[in-house]
Each structure stands twice: as structure tokens, then as C-alpha cells.
Structure 1
């Protein structure tokens, strides 16, 4: 049956009873109905559920679970009152150990389907010690009343957020000081240095809430003993403890030797280059972002064996010589 849809693929919602078979790379569960693939947010493989489909794309139905008929053993009650509405978190309804299994499964399936690996060499997911209160970077939208919140996924609807369970406590403590005072702003971005207690907040909030420092050019964070400058336009890992675990894991798996030459593609502000520089002969780092390269020049000042090359990785690699 053909259904009328708009340019965004939205259709008149309809409901289907399905068995969820797998998990998709965007986080939704996958099912099939009369030969048609259905992606359903907030489901878990193995469940029987009712899915409300409200979008279609290339013959695929996209929607969300609205009723669980037979729940998976790993289904839990989401602790966040905004879950399913704000569009940020996707898996709070799944027990955390099962989330880690599903993450590895998604990577394995992508390598198999797209990379054509017969037996993808995917290790177990390294979980966080605490999956709550970790996020050091928040970007809040602001509505006409000056309230801070998020825009609902797949829509333009705004939802006010007074406390986000995955944000660092410092960010949550700043929220009530800004709620209802930020009219005229488009967004408020807050970044917090977990190991330095420094912040980077844009735009200038001095006239709105003087107690909150803002309009900094950059802030600093420390990872595994190294200090990094990060500007507003530069990417940095949003989970500081996990970033430190990742550095240790990369060092362990590379089995680097003192005479090695390493290539750090998409090097950012130098996170891995700086961490590994003491252990190798030379590192060539490639990064396209001007802001990230500017930060990196500061961050690598104590590591003369790091060479930064600005540009696209795919353009520079073919021309690169030692």
C-alpha cells in the first residue's frame, strides 16, 4: 500500500505488531513486516512489540515502540524523565552490560556488511565505570522564553531540560541559574574540564548571570597526565575517564617500539600524538580543522618529534613521504 509522505519522509502514523530481530547502527531495533524492513527506536532484539511508524525512507519504515508485548530480560525502567522525548539518549531502557554487547555487535555487523570481513576482529566493549554524570560538553537550545533544553529528535519541538543525568554535575548546577534568563540567545554551549575545573562557555553570559564565567577563548583538560588546550571550535572527547582508558588501550594494542614512526590521522588537538610521543621516534599527525591545529601547536610544544600537517587525510596520505 502506497502512503503519502512529505519531503522529510513523514507519513500518517500507522501501527504494526512485529518481532524485533536485531539492532541497527543508528540504535533502533530492526524488524520485518510483510518483507518490509522496520526500524524501531526504544526496542530490544528478541521482543514482540507494537511499533508506530511515522516515517518512510527508501521503502524502509521508521518509528518507535509504543507497546511491549513480550519484554526482553534486559529491559529496565529508564531513570530519566525526559527519555524518549528529548531525543538524546537511545538506550536507557536497556541494562548497561547488554548495551555494551550491542555496541560490539553493531561494529561487527558494519565490518561484515560494509567492510566485507568474514570474521570481524571486534573486541569486547570497554564499559564506563559510571555511565551517568560523565558528559563534559553540553549544547543547549534556547526557546523564546529564555529556557534551555533540547530539540526533540526528528522534529523542531523544544523540550526544557532542568537536569540531565548524563551531564557532569557542574553543568547541571549551572542550568537553573540560566533557565528563563536566556531569551534572545540561539544556543548555550558549556564545556567543563573534569580534571582541571576550567570551563568554556559561549556566548557571553555576563549580563545574564555574572556568577557563571563565560566567553573564554579556550579551556584546558588533562588526560593521563598530559595537558591540552581546547578551543570552542575544536573537538575533544566528551567522556574524560573513558578517553583516558582509550589512550591506555591504544598504547597497549599498538605494542609500539622506540624506533617506530606513527601516523595519527584525524589527530584533533593532539590527544593521541602527545600521549604516545615519548614512546616512539616520530609521529606525523594530520588534521583538517584550523582551530584544532592551532590548539595542537600549543599542546605539542614539548614534543619535538611530532609533525603536524594541516589538511584532509585522504588528500595528504597519498603524497606523504617520511
Structure 2
């Protein structure tokens, strides 16, 4: 489950002020490692530089985009000596919109980078040093995989235009299409482009396996053949149809979600006798699709809209129960033995009270699905450092090709 995580605000000394560089200035440099933001690193006269569009070891010419007190941000404008992993980006907006970090890197290399990122986080903790991160499971589609797009609507001269805002420069970038989005979303952008004046944001969700669509907010696009403001859309996974409210979370890569479900089922080795809890269950995808393999499964979710979706999505399945509330409030009150616990927390990770409840309840198997390696490693350490749990498997799954983001499945088993 995703949830936006803000970059920490810097409050230290100004370590770039001595460098006379401004946006638009260019300089030559050799690039070092890739950081957790997906950018390569360098320096100029002792000042740290973060460079988008580069790969380690490359000699490049970069253009300054912005100077912050703690770092200078730049992008590659010319490659003088390129790395063997470099490929030609397919998107004309690459490095302009800033949504993709790695379109210039071969896909095999992207998968290795994601594995290494997870391993770096794991290696920070003594209790996890024995763990070796598995090879990242690649996505069948590296473009056109997203079923959900959030777009900015321009102002003033760009009023009514659909696009993105560059994360560094904050400049608006009008787009004709986004190569990460599925075909229905790009068709909708084409139809709505220039016709959404007065709005500030626009969201489009389109089923990858259905013809269902949701466009928010409500506006009059009937002259373009578009219906807006609907409250739900539907997606199909593994032959099951799921209703998803506008305010409910759903994984953006439907094909890879199906693969992740297979990985979870295989790792848990369910025999049909287990009582299972699916915490942070959302609209009930894992709950519904794992129900045939357990005796009973309980889903916990704080979003009222998601619980309503989940109950509808599971209406004919008798061994499912849903409880509305925060996992940190509900888990510790469950008056039943739990054999298996699935944790799929937001990007910030598990609330400390959730981890305390895990230690108290001691389910035999705990499987964690995380979209933020730093938070995941922290939570795994808190469970393993008790001596109660052993981390058996860490398996990255690439839900987000062309970007630095990675989903990770971790399997823990109670010791003894």
C-alpha cells in the first residue's frame, strides 16, 4: 500500500554557496554511484551534486537545474563516455517531467539496482546481516503498465492543459501521452487535453483487464465523449472482479500484482488449516485470492470506502471477515489464535503498536509487503531483534519499471 512520503527538510549549513553556479550553467563531471533517489552522484569544488539521467562511471556534461543549501541538482545534457548499461530512452519527456528516473538504463540493470537498494537497507541492521536479497522479479511490461495516473492541470498560459510538474524546477510540462500509462489512460489524455480549464488536478484510473474507467474530478467533458466524477471502477485479477472506489488504494501494475500474489502464496505454503489475518487489506485483493487456501481469513482496513469495496468483492466467500479500523488498534484486540499474518503497510511502514502486537500474538508466519525499503528494513529489524522471528526470504518485485521504486516481499517464520 502506497502513501506519499515527504523528503526530509534540510536544516544544516549551506555547503554549496561557495560554488558560482546557477540554473542553466553547464559543467563536465564523472559520475559516481546511484543514490536512493535514483540519481547519480558527483561533486564540484567539494559541493555534492545529484545528476539525473546518468549512470555510474560515465563522463558527462550536465546542466544545473537548481541549487539547494545541501546539494546542487543537475541533469545530463551530453554523454562523453557512456556506460554499457545505457539505452536510448523511449519517452520524449524523459528528464523533463521527472516522473521516470531510469529510462536510460537497461531493464536488467534496473532490476539489479533495485536488488542492491534493498540489500543496502537490510545490511544496516545486525539482526538482518545473514539475509541475502533475492533477484528482483521483473515486470512482463516495462511500459504501458500503469492503471492509474495523477496529472496536474496547468495555469495561466497553460490553463486547461494536462501534464506533470517537474519535481526539481517545479515547471509545468504539458504531455500528449505518458508511456507508463495503459492505453485507455493515454486515449483519455488525448481526448481531454486542453479541455479541463479551471481544474488543478486530474486523476484517471482504467482497468487493465476490464473496460471500466474512473475520471476525477467531476467536470463536463461530454462533448469529448467522456464521463467524469464516477465513484468506482472495476479491475480483474486472477479471474476475480474487484470494485475500487475513487478513494481506495489499488496496485498500479495489475499484471505484476498477479505475479506477486503467486509469490506470496508459494512462500506461505498454506495447507488449508490456517487462520490468517490480512492487515492493511485495502479492497481485499489478497484476502479474496488467498481465501481458498486457508480455513479463515480476516482483513483489517481503516478506509471506510475500501472496506465497503472489500465486502462487495468477497460477498460470496464464506470464510472471510472484514474489520474496519486502524491495524494498530485492531490487531491486539483479536481474540483468536493467528497462524499467518500478512502485513501490507503504507510507505511509512508499520506503526510501532502493530509490531508490538505481532510479538505478543506470535503468528507462526509473518509476510510483509513493502514499497519503501528503508521502512521495511527498520520493521524487519524490530521483529527479528527480539529473537522470536527469523527472516527467511527477501524478494523484490518490480511493480514500477523505469523508476527507482520497488515492492519487496519478506517472509519471516517463528523460531523454534
TM-score, normalised by the number of residues in structure 1: 0.88
Residues 8-157 of structure 1: pairs in structure 2 closer than 5 A: 12-13=22-23, 18-31=29-42, 38-51=49-62, 52=64, 54-56=66-68, 59-113=70-124, 117-144=128-155, 145-157=159-171
Alpha-carbon displacement from aligned partner over 1:41-79 (angstroms, at most 9, x marks no partner) = 22222323455473446x455443344342110111111
Match of 2:190 in 1: 176
Counterpart mapping for 1:287-302 below 5 A: 287-302=301-316
Counterpart of 2:128 in 1: which secondary structure? coil
d(CA) in 1 for partners of 2:125, 2:77 = 31
Considering Cα pairs closer than 8 Å and 6+ residues apart, tell me whether 1 or 2 has the greater RCO.
2
1:317 deviates by: 3.1
Match in the other structure for 2:213: 199
Residue 209 of structure 1 aligns to a residue in which SS? helix
* Matches of 2:332 and 2:60, distance apart in 1: 50
Contact 2:149–2:205 (8 Å) recurs in 1? yes
SS of the equivalent of 1:97 reads: helix
CA contact (8 A) 1:40 1:64 kept: yes
| Partner in structure 1 of residue 357 of structure 2 | none
Which whole-Å CA distance do the structure 2 matches of 1:116 and 1:66 have between them? Answer: 43
Aligned-pair CA distance for 1:162: 0.5
Q: Does residue 1:161 correspond to 2:175, yes or no? A: yes
Please tell me whether the aligned partners of residues 16 and 72 of structure 2 are also in contact (alpha carbons under 8 angstroms). no
C-alpha separation in 2, matches of 1:277 and 1:304: 9
Per the alignment, residue 268 of structure 1 pairs with 282
Equivalent residue number for residue 8 of structure 1: none
Aligned to 1:280: 294
**CA pair 313-48 structure 1, distance change in 2 beyond 3 A:** farther
1:4-27 residue CA offsets vs partner (Å, 9 max, x unmatched): 59xxxxx84576755434322221
TM superposition shift of 1:87: 1.4
What is the alpha-carbon distance in structure 1 between the residues aligned to residue 112 and residue 126 of structure 2? 20
- Aligned twin of 1:217: 231
Alpha-carbon offset, residue 120 of structure 1: 3.2
Q: Secondary structure at the match of 2:54?
A: coil
RMSD across aligned C-alpha pairs, in angstroms?
A: 2.6
Q: Is the 8 A contact 2:192 2:221 kept in 1?
A: no
Does structure 2 conserve the Cα–Cα contact (< 8 Å) formed by 1:181 and 1:208?
no
Instruction: Summarize the Cα distance change of 1:209–1:187 in structure 2 as closer, same or farther, 3 Å threshold.
Output: farther
SS at match of 1:22: coil
Deviation (angstroms), 1:183 = 0.8
Structure 1 match to 2:413: none
User: Which SS does the other structure have where 1:44 is aligned?
Assistant: coil
Q: Is the 8 A contact 1:15 1:53 kept in 2?
A: no
Deviation per CA, 1:172-231: give whole Å up to 9, x if none.
Answer: 122222111111112221111121211111123445535112222201111011111100
Residue in structure 1 matched with residue 243 of structure 2 by the alignment: 229
Larger CA deviation: 239-248 vs 311-320 = 311-320
The alignment's TM-score, normalised by the length of structure 2, stands at: 0.69
Q: Structure 2 vs 1, CA of residues 205 and 2 (structure 1 numbering), >3 Å: closer, same or farther?
A: closer
Give the unaligned 5+ runs of structure 2. 1-13, 337-416
User: Deviation per CA, 1:88-136, whole angstroms, max 9, x where unpaired?
Assistant: 1111000111111111111111222268621433211111222111111
